[in-house]
Amino acid sequence: MRRGKLIDIVVIVIGLAGAGVAAAETAWEDLGPYGGTIDSIATDPNDCDIVFIGVQSTGVFKSLDGGDSFELIFEIQQPVQSLFVSRTDGQKILAATWSGVFISEDGGQSWTETTEGLPNSQFHFVGQHPVDPELFLASCNDGVFSSVDGGETWQDISNEITGVFSRAIVINPSMPEIGYVATANGVYKTTNAGANWFPASLGLTDLNIKDLALEPSRPNVLYAATYSDGVFRSADGAATWVVTGPAGPTESQCLAVDPDTVDTLWVGDHRDGVFFSTDGGQSWTTLNDGLPDEPVDSLAFVPGTGTLFSGLSTHGLYRKESGDPQWTPANNGIRGYRFSSILVNASGGDVLGGVSSYRPAVFRSPLSHTAWETADSGMNYPAVYTLAQHATDPSTLFSGNSGAIYRSLDDGDTWDLASDGLPVGSVRTYSLLVIDSDTLYAGSREGLWKSSDGADSWVLTGLADIQVYSLALGGASGTDVFAGTAAHAVYRSVDGGETWNAASTGLNPGSTVHALLADPSSPQTLYAGMLVHGVAKSTDGGDTWQATGLVSETVYALHQIGDTIYAGTRTQGVLASRNGGDTWLPVDTGLPSYAEVNAFDHDDGGRVLYAGTTAGVFSLDLSGRIFEDGFESGFTDAWSEVVD
């Protein structure tokens, strides 16, 4: 949890003729962008205004106004593959995640993992039995499980499908002993409540079943969404299957059946968006007006309203009202993009943010913050960990990704591989250091790479098989290269990367150094931001290190403007020091409490500070503000604004 402020507003008076100084609370502006990968959607069957969504790499969000706005209620940094709201108790929600099944009994305010009887596996589905409200079902990589006590304990009912990758489960509401499960090996059916399962895939030409649904009023009518052959329909309880009509979905991912109208269903496709049929799939109509051209991962129909939600693979949640052919974004408050890097590009007049959670890999916004656009054209390896700018040509940018290094010659409009010599596909680049127009260093999972030709080619220059997270230029000459590593602390090279020596005296043994900073006005002074151990400082060019006033915290980013040092942390947002790290105080008003701060940059004049976080991009307007001596006296808000 964040430390609370000791004093929210400080008034400082200084002896300036004709002027006074009044405090202004430091506040970050939320720049967005909103959206992300929506893995799952669930609506409350008894309250059409309540919507839950599972956002990959972030967690579960909840809306109380029908999707107009969302708030994070459960942070879990992994896919949430399925959500379910109990039809008998709207306060009870279940979530199937890649680490297990979680239950909330209070509408999502608190969550508990339910583990008794469940394997350590990735879960893909959770749901409630249509007749017995205490009976819940869950599926995972290892089969199918049931709970007869509301999810407290679970029993393995896989039997013949033990070890089979299982997804959606549907139960016949008229004959509840009959059930079906979608698996990576076809459809399986039980006629005795899971005591036995048998294949039910006759007619299916693709056995990788992504989703399964039945019509509640005609439970012998089922639909199966397949990975590559579209949607199949069965009219005889899965005894036989027939592919649906032509010009329909091909890479179907998810299904939504209208519970009130027979033969009516929607399909989310990974290639062609959303399809709609009113004749059981004999014919299809696309419903993509307003939708971005990208895979659809989830669908949910709101019973009784005609409202449909569509969860996309990158651009978040969209909503379509009954009778309206147009989709509109419903992303307000959905913070699904994890920003790992920030770059202010004065040449392009914009700010770029690199996203480590798949696509879009790069967002770009004018410095006026009017809107965000994607700027990752050409990036086949999308996860971005670091961005950098050419030493002399500001329109040339570099991006360190999971799989490659890219270069843009047009301010980020397009990107091309700049990875000759790198193990393309496996390299993971965490940091880039631009020395001059020819010389660059790249810290990676595989070691430290150097380019002497402007990123045309790369060679491994040392620290092989040591993960290099951070880089800095400093030391007595100002030209020493420092590398912060995983579990090996800091290394230094004084000969352009030819040789490396440990420069970690005084650091915690085995420290992982996520951030390095050399003081621009005194390059012998360096700061190291570490996993768990806070910030350490060296005043002798890395020969020795001492702890600063920030300990027992993970620090991902360090940045300096003037004599103010900013630290981006895991649990305390942004901390700032004006006295060389002796004391650190929060500068976190306006940041979500769960945001991890991974990167900083500022504009040319040092008037605006940008922060890339796990909850989006934020800016802090520093113009017209001064930092008073009260900071060292313990004030937590020490920014003061000069007023006439």
Q: What is the pLDDT of residues 558-575, one digit of tens each?
A: 999 999 999 999 999 999
Nearest CA among 472, 437, 466 for reference residue 452: 437
pLDDT of residue 608: 93
Provide the pLDDT confidence category of residue 3 given band limits of 50, 70 and 90. very low
**Residue 642 pLDDT more than 60?**
no
| 385: phi then psi, degrees, rounded to nearest 5 | -110, -20
pLDDT of residue 184: 96
**Residue 19 pLDDT more than 90?**
no
Residue 240, amino acid: T
Q: What is the pLDDT of residues 577-602, one digit of tens each?
A: 999 999 999 998 899 989 999 999 99
pLDDT of residue 289: 96
Provide the pLDDT confidence category of residue 625 given band limits of 50, 70 and 90. low
- DSSP class of residue 160 equals G
Nearest CA among 580, 622, 585 for reference residue 601: 622
Q: Rounded mean pLDDT of 156-162?
A: 96
**Residue 26 pLDDT more than 70?**
no
Nearest CA among 140, 127, 206, 204 for reference residue 173: 127
Q: What is the pLDDT of residues 364-405, one digit of tens each?
A: 999 888 789 999 999 999 899 999 999 999 999 999 999 999
Instruction: Return d(Cα 217, Cα 260) in angstroms, integer.
Output: 8
Angle at alpha carbon of residue 567, lines to 565 and 572, rounded to 5°? 135
| Dihedral (Cα; 46, 50, 53, 58), 10-degree rounding | -140
Q: What is the pLDDT of residues 541-558, one digit of tens each?
A: 999 999 999 999 999 999
Provide the pLDDT confidence category of residue 616 given band limits of 50, 70 and 90. very high
Nearest CA among 596, 582, 598, 594 for reference residue 634: 582
In DSSP terms, 196 is beta-bridged to none
- Expressed in percent and rounded to 5, the helix, strand and coil fractions of the chain are 0, 45, 50
CB contact at 8 A, 623 and 607: yes
Provide the pLDDT confidence category of residue 349 given band limits of 50, 70 and 90. confident
Worst-scoring range by mean pLDDT, 93-97, 231-235, 622-626?
622-626
**Residue 624 pLDDT more than 90?**
no
* All residues at 6 or more sequence positions from 179 whose CB lies less than 8 Å from its CB, including other chains: 137, 169, 170, 171, 172, 189, 190, 193, 194
Q: What is the pLDDT of residues 35-51, one digit of tens each?
A: 999 999 999 999 999 99
pLDDT of residue 14: 25
Which pair of structure tokens corresponds to residue 616? 């989006």
- DSSP class of residue 632 equals G
User: Count of CB atoms within 10 A of residue 470's CB?
Assistant: 26
Count CA within 13 A, CB hemisphere, residue 539: 5
| 603: phi then psi, degrees, rounded to nearest 5 | -75, 175
Query: What average pLDDT does the chain have?
Result: 90
Instruction: Return d(Cα 412, Cα 397) in angstroms, integer.
Output: 7
pLDDT of residue 638: 41
Which pair of structure tokens corresponds to residue 536? 């350490």
Instruction: Return d(Cα 111, Cα 101) in angstroms, integer.
Output: 10
User: Is 54 in a helix, a strand, or coil?
Assistant: strand
Provide the pLDDT confidence category of residue 4 given band limits of 50, 70 and 90. very low
Instruction: Return d(Cα 500, Cα 516) in angstroms, integer.
Output: 16
Provide the pLDDT confidence category of residue 633 given band limits of 50, 70 and 90. very low
Which pair of structure tokens corresponds to residue 267? 């399909």
**What percentage of residues in the chain have a pLDDT greater than 70?**
93
Q: What is the pLDDT of residues 416-454, one digit of tens each?
A: 999 999 999 999 999 999 999 999 999 999 999 999 999
Nearest CA among 325, 329, 328, 271 for reference residue 295: 271
Provide the pLDDT confidence category of residue 5 given band limits of 50, 70 and 90. very low
Provide the pLDDT confidence category of residue 630 given band limits of 50, 70 and 90. very low
**Residue 55 pLDDT more than 50?**
yes
**Residue 8 pLDDT more than 70?**
no
pLDDT of residue 400: 97
Peptide bond into 292 cis (omega under 30): no
Q: How far is CA 589 from the centre of its chain?
A: 22
Distances (CA, A) of 488 to 357, 499, 558, 570, 643: 26, 16, 19, 21, 49
* pTM of this structure: 0.86
**What percentage of residues in the chain have a pLDDT greater than 90?**
83
- DSSP class of residue 629 equals G
pLDDT of residue 17: 27
**Residue 634 pLDDT more than 50?**
no
In DSSP terms, 350 is beta-bridged to 345, 366
**Residue 264 pLDDT more than 70?**
yes
Helices (H), 532-628: none
